[in-house]
Amino acid sequence: LRAIDSLQLTATHKVATPADWQHGDDVIIVPSVSDDEAWTLFPDGWQTIKPYLRKVADPTKP
């Protein structure tokens, strides 16, 4: 079920999930999304670990 949840999440949002991802865990903003677009998609912000690695809260989490 976790794999299906991950596929559905990544199909509807511009994020990727790490290998050990559980529903509700933080996700990764895909590198093809610019910072300007990311601010539109994730107005609450994100954590930048590396310039190509930005972590954000699960967008489906209430």
Q: What is the CATH number of the domain that holds 7?
A: 3.30.1020.10
User: Is-contact 46 18, C-beta < 8 A?
Assistant: no
Q: Is residue 62 part of a domain?
A: no
The whole model's pTM is what? Answer: 0.88
Structural domain including 42 reads: 2-56
Strand order in the sheet with 15-16: 15-16, 27-29, 53-56, 47-50
Supply the pLDDT for residue 61.
84
| pLDDT one digit per residue (tens) for the chain, 62 residues | 889 999 999 999 999 999 999 999 999 999 999 999 999 999 999 999 999 999 999 999 87
Supply the pLDDT for residue 39.
97
Supply the pLDDT for residue 46.
97
Q: Is residue 7 part of a domain?
A: yes
User: Is-contact 54 46, C-beta < 8 A?
Assistant: yes
Which residue bears the tokens 């991802």? 21
Rg (CA), the chain: 11
